[in-house]
């Protein structure tokens, strides 16, 4: 399914602790836990029907921009978020010092 970029809107559902993209009835998420000044990214999931549209990357970008704006220290337990940070080194300064990811 080819999804136009303007159709992919990311929302921060703080009550559930996840960034969400609800696209054509499918829900993609980047889950997190926020503890004081830290945000721990635990899992990213995109339904198979939405794969290949850059949704996980948009979730990661939005989540990391949120962390930057809020002055949060990032702990990327989620392999996708960790990989995104490796590919976008401008976010490495957000990661908890000494945190192995």
99 located within any domain: no
Region for residue 99 given its phi and psi (left: phi exceeds 0; alpha: psi -120 to 50; beta: otherwise):
beta
Read off φ and ψ for residue 55, nearest 5 degrees: -70, -45
Residues spanned by the domain of 36: 5-94
pLDDT at 90: 97
What's the DSSP call for residue 95? B
What tens digit of pLDDT does each residue of 25-71 get?
999 999 999 999 999 999 999 999 999 999 999 999 999 999 999 99
How many domains does one find in the chain? 1
Question: Which band of pLDDT confidence, cut at 50, 70 and 90, is reported for residue 92?
Answer: very high
The CATH number of the domain holding residue 60 is 3.40.630.30
Per DSSP, the three-state class of 73 is: strand
Predicted confidence (pLDDT) at residue 1 exceeds the cutoff of 90: no
The whole-model pTM stands at 0.95
26 located within any domain: yes
């Amino acid at each position: 399914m080819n999804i136009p970029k303007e159709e992919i809107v990311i929302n921060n559902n703080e009550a559930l602790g996840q960034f969400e993209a609800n696209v054509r009835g499918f829900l993609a998420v980047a889950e997190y836990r926020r503890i004081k000044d830290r945000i721990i990214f635990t899992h990213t999931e995109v339904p198979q029907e939405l794969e290949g549209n850059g949704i996980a990357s948009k979730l990661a970008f939005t989540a990391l921009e949120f962390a930057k704006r809020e002055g949060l220290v990032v702990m990327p337990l989620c392999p996708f978020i960790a990989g995104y940070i490796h590919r976008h080194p401008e976010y490495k300064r957000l990661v908890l010092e000494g945190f192995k990811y």
